[in-house]
Structure 1
Amino acid sequence: MKEIEFRFKSPKDSPGYLLGQVTMLWQRKLKIVLDPLDLTQTQFVLMAALGWLSKKSNTVTQVDIANQSNADRMMVSKVLRTLEKKKFISRQEHQTDTRAKVIKLTVEGADVLQKALSAVENADIDFFSILGNKLSSFNQSLANLTEQNKVE
């Protein structure tokens, strides 16, 4: 059998491997705090994007949510349908664009989102506390990676 060659000497030298490990652990932590609210992490991310965008505009569309969350448009559509069935959001016809739907949080959705934001923010503070005063530069590095690797 041919010997497999790795570029990195160990998994701990691979940034992709480490990012994957941290992501899985962080997602597990979020699942623990989001399950009681009947939300998945993806549902939370899309609701948070909607909440954020709604602060600036009364006509938030599925495309706006997909762009804000760097998510696939088809996946966003499916998840928003699920959130609508849960009565967390409403989807209405756009006044000028017949292809678009305006997405709004319902009263129940806004309440769940506020609870989820508190739970997730507390989980984040706990999870990332090990970084101490390096958190700001860590966040900047993540923002740089996101910006440099966006897929249009």
Structure 2
Amino acid sequence: MNIDLNSLAEGAVAEKLDAEFQNVLKNMVDPNTDPTKARSITLTLTFKGNKNRELWECAVKAVSKLAPSKDVDSTFIVGRGENGAVIGRELSSGVPGQMYIDREGDVATDVGEKVTAEEEQPTSVAPTERAVVDFRKQKTN
């Protein structure tokens, strides 16, 4: 006796197998999973007969085993606020206190807040004098 999975249970077995295969394919192309991990599909046919062994019920189960998603890491800056409460923010720049250029091309602080204007530096420049500078007379540390 040959069993045709396409016609078994009016095609429901083939549909279950196809649905699990689609899940495996989606998991294969997911960039958040490890491509070297194995995926599998298990098709289980469970038979249960009556007392006379004349009629048998067949339950079909299709289960896929997928690769788990990779862990995602993040770094947080933690400290205390002005009132002593603990506060924390995700570190976006990679280095505390360092500004960076975000995905939109804007300058942002280390926690991802966009910088709207540069800090103004005083532009008062001392007038240029035409004198000889004696470096020996300058203060040193």
Q: Same fold (TM over 0.5)?
A: no
Write 1 or 2 for the structure with the bigger share of strand: 2
Structure with max Cα Rg: 2
TM class by shorter chain equals under 0.3
Give the number of the structure with larger relative contact order, counting CA–CA contacts within 8 Å between residues 6 or more apart. Answer: 1
Q: TM-score, normalised on structure 1?
A: 0.20
